[in-house]
Amino acid sequence: MKKRWVVLFAAICTVALLVSGCAQKTADTKQTEDQSWNKIKEKGEFVVGLDDNYPPAGFRDEAGELVGFDIDLAKEAAKRLGVKAVFKPVQWDGVLLNLKSGDIDLIWNALGITPERQKEIGFTDSYMSDRNIIIVKSGSSIKSKADLDGKIIGLQLGSTAEPAVNKDPISSKIKEIRKFESPTVALMDLDAGRIDAVVTNEMNARYLITTEKTADKYYILTEEQGDFGKEPFGVGVRMEDKAFLAELNRVLNEMKADGTAGKISDQWFGSNIIK
């Protein structure tokens, strides 16, 4: 009889341990579950890291207010998510570190999706594509990408223009690559004759040239004359923030489907360049 009670007691203890273990495992699972989207909802906002001197994606107008194509897209996405978009200007060459350290929640600023960046951060689906083009002064002897042989070019530090140029065979023949805080500053050096060409996104280049009424001063080489390749743009988040990424993708797809993203594009470019 005593032996039977011992066996029964041991069985009860085993069941208790199993139940306790399952409960602990459930609690641990809840703690380690991706809480990125819940954290954004609790804050009531997401912080966007950007270069505030990169028109038309994001820049300051004459009143000093942040405006731009990507600014408007981010605001619309935030509204649909039921939170507020807060914009935080950062040094572009350190923007990935700002994201990883938690200073910002995402990057939305003509951010090229590249294999190098995909190893460090997560991306939404692409919402548009652009190409890294070559700008020269009107009347320049540079008529094709091959003419960069022996020349000095400028580009933005930390931009996709740098790896795009470095991967191209012409890079070994370029005399010097100078890196600037922004394409706007690089254009100033081009105008002053300190460099021979500037490489930047076509979207940025065309906006700078047309708004500053300098179309007669500069020339953008055509695709046939040479560029440094196309690149898709996406919104960047921390690699582990998959729940937040899913919500961003959801609203971005909604904005594309109902035409809102296209309308924002039309306001800035006069046509729908959203893909």
Task: Please report, for the domain that includes residue 140, its CATH number.
Answer: 3.40.190.10
Q: Say if residue 149 is in the same domain as residue 220.
A: yes
Number of structural domains (the chain) is 2
Cα(120)–Cα(74) distance, integer angstroms: 22
Residue position matching structure tokens 């100033």: 188
Q: Say if residue 72 is in the same domain as residue 145.
A: no
Residue among 256, 253, 258 at smallest CA distance from 274: 256
Cβ neighbourhood burial of 103 (10 Å; 0-12, 13-18, 19+): middle
Cβ neighbourhood burial of 17 (10 Å; 0-12, 13-18, 19+): exposed
Please, which residues have CB within 8 angstroms of residue 139's CB and are 6 or more apart in sequence?
A: none
Q: Say if residue 153 is in the same domain as residue 221.
A: yes
In a domain, 29, yes or no: no
pLDDT at residue 15 in the model: 47
**What average pLDDT does this structure show over 67-80?**
98
pTM for the whole structure: 0.79
pLDDT digits (tens, 9 = 90+) for 29-67: 444 689 999 999 999 999 999 999 999 999 999 999 999
pLDDT at residue 258 in the model: 96
Q: Please, what sign has the CA dihedral across residues 195, 197, 203, 206?
A: positive
Domain that holds residue 69: 36-127+234-269
Q: Say if residue 257 is in the same domain as residue 210.
A: no
Residue type, 187: L
Q: Say if residue 77 is in the same domain as residue 110.
A: yes
Average model confidence (pLDDT) for the chain? 89
In a domain, 22, yes or no: no
